[in-house]
Amino acid sequence: QAKNAGRNAVCFFDPEMQAVATANATLATDLRQAWRENQFLIDYQPQVGADGRMSGVEALLRWRHPHRDLVAPADFISTAEETSLIIPIGRWVLEQACAQLAEWARRPDRRHLSIAVNVSVRQFRHPDFVDEVMTAIADAGIAPHKLKLELTESLLAEGIEVTVAKMGSLKDMGVTLSLDDFGMGYSSLSYLKRLPLDQLKIDKAFVKDILTDANDAAIARTIIGLAQSLGLSVIAEGVETREQRDFLAQQGCLEYQGYLFCKPLPIEELEQFIDRQAG
Ligand code: C2E
Ligand code: MG
Ligand code: MG
Ligand code: MG
């Protein structure tokens, strides 16, 4: 007891920790203001099939601070989670994605496209989450399967039963479910089997050195095999070179996302990219 208290006391007065705490508090204040002032944007990154044809996009949140460079999600998502701001922001991303899908549904050259939306643990855990997804789909009047939710293995920390039940409700609604950053987490295979998934997404950490690192290649191969035996589709993120794409294709991964094809783009530029692809 006394030992713990002593350790905590030391931590509390650690100037470095103090600096981090202050920076976090500032970021939280900035984020609240950013949300009030509509400083968030969404970029969209194409997902393509083996034939190079776009199957959809992933929606990626951007924060355009008026006096700073673009802030990367990695630098603010965790604070958005801690402050619960991720709840309204996440709902907004979902609504934007559904509205975009509704617009594409009216255009024959775009109606096949899906949109993947990242869902944070905090958002998924929220008791209203399933209802919010249902409302967003109904309000936009879209086909549910066009909406793909990207979940991560960290959801499982909440407990397998709750997670399976919630995912089941989403699945029943017709939404597509993908497991993002797969291979980075700790889900056991027996858990994985119970999740009502449609897709595994190979984390870019394994794609990066797939040609030179035998371990990464083995992990990628294992994930692809796993997806095949579970009857799931598989997509690789962070594909930057033709060689990586070819290697993945040889192993049976036929969907890709990465700079080789296109970086994340603002909607206007994405529309141009789609037009160029079609033309
Ligand atoms: P993620 O979902 O795994 O997204 C993929 C990340 O890889 C994106 O980073 C994307 O810009 C980046 N990327 C795409 N192609 C390449 C490539 O060829 N090479 C490399 N090195 N990177 C590539 P980004 O946009 O910085 O997003 C980082 C993370 O932030 C996302 O990882 C996701 O976990 C989170 N995030 C983004 N938007 C949202 C959101 O709306 N809600 C929530 N909860 N999280 C989000
Ligand atoms: Mg993602
Ligand atoms: Mg990912
Ligand atoms: Mg990732």
Write the pLDDT tens digit of every residue in 148-191.
Answer: 999 998 888 878 899 999 999 999 999 999 999 887 776 677 78
CA of residue 191 relative to chain centroid, distance: 20
**214-230 and 242-251 are packed helices; what angle lies between their axes, rounded to 10 degrees?**
50
CA dihedral (246, 248, 251, 253) in degrees, to 10, reads -120
Q: What average pLDDT does the segment 65-80 reach?
A: 90
ipTM: 0.98
268 by Cβ neighbours in 10 Å (0-12 / 13-18 / 19+) ranks as exposed
Paired tokens of 157: 């920390």
- Ligand 1 binding pocket includes 56 (Cβ within 6 Å): no
Q: Which atom of ligand 1 is nearest to the CA of 260?
A: 18
- Ligand 1 binding pocket includes 45 (Cβ within 6 Å): yes
pLDDT at 18 over 80: no
pTM: 0.93
How much distance in Å is there from the Cα of 4 to the middle of ligand 1?
Answer: 38
Shortest-distance Cα residue to atom 10 of ligand 1: 264
Q: Of the candidates 76, 74, 168, which has an alpha carbon nearest to the alpha carbon of residue 130?
A: 168
* 18 compared with 174, residue with greater pLDDT: 174
Q: What average pLDDT does the segment 7-34 reach?
A: 77
Q: What is the pLDDT of residue 238?
A: 98
Element (H, E) at 171: helix 160-173
